[in-house]
Amino acid sequence: VSQSSVDEKSVGSETYGFDAIRGIQAGREFYVGMCPLKIIPKLFIFNDHDIPPELRAQRVLSEYRISPIKNYILNNPDDYIFSSLTTSVDGTMKFIPAASLGQGGKLGRLYINMESRLLINDGQHRRKAIEEALKEKPELGHEMISVVFFQDKGLKRSQQMFSDLNKNAVKPTKSLSILYDHRDKFSKFIVGMVNIVEIFQGRVELEKTTMSNRSTKVFTLNGISDATMHL
């Protein structure tokens, strides 16, 4: 990996260094850094399974969620995509702006002490899936994922971050997932069928999984998919 991307020992031998952007949210400074996948397993920790929920800042890992994400990475090496991991850093962070880049010192290098405790607030299953995928395909280690770094403000703050990040997340409807999934062959078949079969023309609700009594639609895309699956 180039010097401009990340140094695993950037300052002495006890600091990770990342290219990063500095920002402000709710009056607090935070950073977005570019991290090679190969160091993701080294950076982050998980709470012990034996710790009661009220003393943790995240949920316990669910093994059944990890394998599908891992397979998604391995089966789509040329077009997989991940959103950022969000983490709280219980330790020293130092941001050094690059004088010749950006405005207001927003671009630069972020240095994190290697003894810091980094806790994932959002993305722990992605992190574990990345670790498992690298065991089978280590060459992916040089690819990058963005990580949002916040300064740790204690257990209650970390728990609140987890709650805020998850309670406002809205899962797309099954119909919309089928419509937008250009990788899955069955989804592509269903959408193609809806587009060419005359009885479906203009009569299929493509986004919602239910229809109001005022709707002019007759079928839902997920309903057609489920019915076809059982044929």
pLDDT digits (tens, 9 = 90+) for 78-101: 999 999 998 888 888 899 998 776
Place of tokens 């076809």: 228
Residue 89 Rama label (left phi>0; alpha psi -120 to 50; beta): beta
Residue 209 phi/psi, 5-degree rounding, is -100, -5
pLDDT at position 21 is: 94
**What is the spatial distance between Cα 61 and Cα 65, in angstroms, rounded to a whole number?**
8
Bridge partners (DSSP) listed for residue 219: 204
**What is the spatial distance between Cα 51 and Cα 53, in angstroms, rounded to a whole number?**
7
21, 34 in Cβ contact below 8 A?
Answer: no
pLDDT at position 46 over 90 = no
pLDDT at position 54 over 60 = no
CA angle 34, 35, 36 (to 5 degrees): 130
pLDDT at position 211 is: 85
Share of the chain above pLDDT 70, in %: 83
pLDDT at position 48 is: 52
C-alpha 87, offset from chain centre: 11
pLDDT at position 56 is: 53
Which of 112, 120, 118 has the alpha carbon at shortest distance from 92?
112
Provide the b/e sequence for 110-143 (b: ≥16 CB within 10 Å).
Answer: bbbbbebebbbbbbbbbbbbbbbbbeeeeebbeb
87, 119 in Cβ contact below 8 A?
Answer: yes
pLDDT at position 12 over 50 = no
pLDDT at position 3 is: 42
Greatest Cα-to-Cα distance within the chain, rounded to the nearest angstrom: 70
**What is the spatial distance between Cα 46 and Cα 36, in angstroms, rounded to a whole number?**
19
pLDDT at position 130 over 90 = yes
pLDDT at position 45 is: 63
207, 173 in Cβ contact below 8 A?
Answer: yes
pLDDT digits (tens, 9 = 90+) for 94-122: 999 987 766 678 899 999 988 888 888 88
pLDDT digits (tens, 9 = 90+) for 136-193: 999 999 999 999 999 887 666 777 777 777 777 677 888 988 998 888 899 999 999 9
Domain boundaries, the chain: 6-167, 174-229
- Overall size of the chain counted in residues: 231
